[in-house]
Amino acid sequence: MGNLYLRSIIALFLISSLSYAQTEKGCGFNYAQDKLRKFSPDYDAKLKQIENMGSITANKTAAITVTIPVVFHVLHLNGSENISDAQIQSAIDVLNIDYRKLNSDTTSVVVQFKNLIADVNVEFKLASLDPDGKCTNGITRHYDAKTNWDSEIEYYVYTWPREKYLNIYVVKAIAGGGAAAYTFLPSTAPPVMDAIVSLDDYVGKIGTSSVGRSRTLTHEVGHWLGLPHIWGSTNNPGVSCGDDGVGDTPITKGHSWCNLANAIDCTPSVVENLQNYMEYSGCPRMFTTGQSNKMNLVLTTLTERINLVSASNMTATGIVNPNYNCAPKAEFLVNAASTCEGNSVTFTDHSYNGPVTSWLWSSTGASNTSTLQNGILTFTNSGLLSVKLKVGNSFGEDSTTKINYIAVMANNGATLNIAQDFETGSFPNNEWITTPPQFGSGFAQTSTVGASGQKCLYVNNYGDNPNEGVELFSPKFDLTNVTGAQLSFKYAFSQKGNSGDELTVFISTNCGQSWTTIFGQIGSGLATTAAPTNTTAFIPLSSEFKTELINLGSYQGNSNVHLRFEFTPDAGGPGNNFYLDDINLTGTVGLKENVFNSNDLKLFPNPAKTQVSLFSSVAIKKIEMFDLLGNQIGSIGRIKLQ
């Protein structure tokens, strides 16, 4: 169980990396109970009611399968935490396999518990109707910084009525770093908090998750339906023997390992149930009959759960009518948010709310449209471009346009001609592209500040804190014949307090499909001023710019090189302003002595300083001349030979 991090009145069941190969961690449930008691005067009575349900271990008289409507709330910042519909469906599939005793690994359950493996007769299905009766696919997606999850009550702003849905939040991080997921015993938490919270990489068994982590939600739903850990709620696993109140789960210490040959710790000759889903061992396989009966009793007697599986709720949430007649809602994603001019990009359809029968993809920067489900657009213009998706079916249409969605980097074929001081022209532009964040603005051009002139680029992180990374993409550079390639740039920054603002520089040789870090500084390491902090808006002197020099020798020979500068404000911001100037890429174009000795053309010497001899038996359309830095210094048009 993970360490508990409390900022308010929350009782959490925390589980650390529930890959089911966990290390022992302290359980804060008792401390959390004390906090919740202060907020809820009847907490102990509610807890006692749930604990007493565990004494029922007899088999059910009739095996009636019930279905729980589920909604996933995916909180994301357009990162990998915005998991696919397919990954969410795989999580539903795992729940249904485990709760219906359809998992093939029950064959390896030890003999002492084979007759106790329960079919819980509970199934799970994504809701088809939302609380307003509108169509849904049971998945809501919210661009929200709360994907870095804390335990404050206001984080649960998207919860649907708990008496109608099992709410599951998917997030990128949970405060404290020790939990993979958590939830509450039924009837003990305020309605809005009656939900499961899970890291994205512990949901399902594909995508960002894995098979080893796929039973995290099996464990958490057990809590949500009234089950404590099998060692009880009064001690940490592995510390002392405890009881979960369920008659057919033996008293146990709880385990963080799966040594089935030595599973007797508390009662002589009594084997403990290491293979239980509510254990911490690395071999979960089963719920017992007693646990199944308790969960079903919770569903049929507790006010907060009884309506979930009612016939009326099956209709209200669309479970009994999956072929709903609704128009779709357009939604899509792209795997890589940057590419090169001239390239084609595939966009993934995530439309919901109804079956989609038609798609139309478009962008002002693309040379085509696409009617494929996962649209393919070819971008012929550089810049920060928007993309539109229109979807429809026989019941209606919907469209969404994502503004400034993809950075299409210029494909200008430059060779070591980068000496950008931002003095001439307006920036950013279609070659030097900035991505504005969701809040605040991106890189902007100054008019009075510079390292060697009067202009540079800066991020207004003092008065217009963007709260997320701000990017600057360079045009293309060709290092095919270059030796001694070096990148230099100047920057100025002063901390505000102990802010952890960060600069990272990346390089790509494949049009932004992947990026490699070549420079990084954060906080005080990024500061360029003599004073450690500056509580006013930072405006640097030219002497307060620092020069960085980076060897790019390992990238020589690549014809398609792009740079990306990313300034990331401290999450606790606002911080202070950041300035960038004088981005230079230098080197030497390596030319070997070339003599063209074909029957048609002879040229020597090459390279040459002042004079070159050319002998040719064919007409020449054009001659271009370059210096050793790769800069074109002249050309001669069509030549008529004698």
Contacts of 62 (CB under 8 A, 6+ apart): none
For 299-344, give the DSSP string: HHH-HHHHTTTSHHHHHHTTTT--S-----B--EEES-SEEETT-E
Strands 444-445 and 457-459: antiparallel
Rg from Cα positions in the chain: 31
Catalytic residue flag (residue 123): no
- The residue behind tokens 């991090």 is 5
CA pair distance 314, 297, nearest whole angstrom: 19
Handedness of CA 204, 209, 211, 215 (dihedral sign): negative
492 touches 446 (CB < 8 A): no
For 130-186, give the DSSP string: -TTS-B--SEEEEE-GGGEE---GGGGTTPPPTTT-EEEEEESEETTS--SEEE--T
User: If we measure between CA atoms, which residue out of 412, 414, 408 comes closest to residue 383?
Assistant: 408
CA pair distance 299, 167, nearest whole angstrom: 15
The helix/strand/coil state of 53 is: helix
User: If we measure between CA atoms, which residue out of 341, 334, 327, 482 comes closest to residue 390?
Assistant: 327
User: If we measure between CA atoms, which residue out of 441, 439, 460 comes closest to residue 449?
Assistant: 460
The helix/strand/coil state of 95 is: helix
106 touches 227 (CB < 8 A): no
Q: Calculate the CA dihedral of residues 86, 89, 94, 95 and round it to 10 degrees.
A: 160
* E strand or H helix at 435: strand 433-435
| Catalytic entry in 51, 81, 154, 220 | 220
Q: Which residues pair with 547 in a beta bridge?
A: 490
Strands 122-126 and 66-76: parallel
Contacts of 633 (CB under 8 A, 6+ apart): 625, 626, 627
Strands 482-493 and 613-616: unpaired
**Exposed/middle/buried for 163, CB within 10 Å: 0-12, 13-18, 19+?**
middle
Catalytic residues: 220
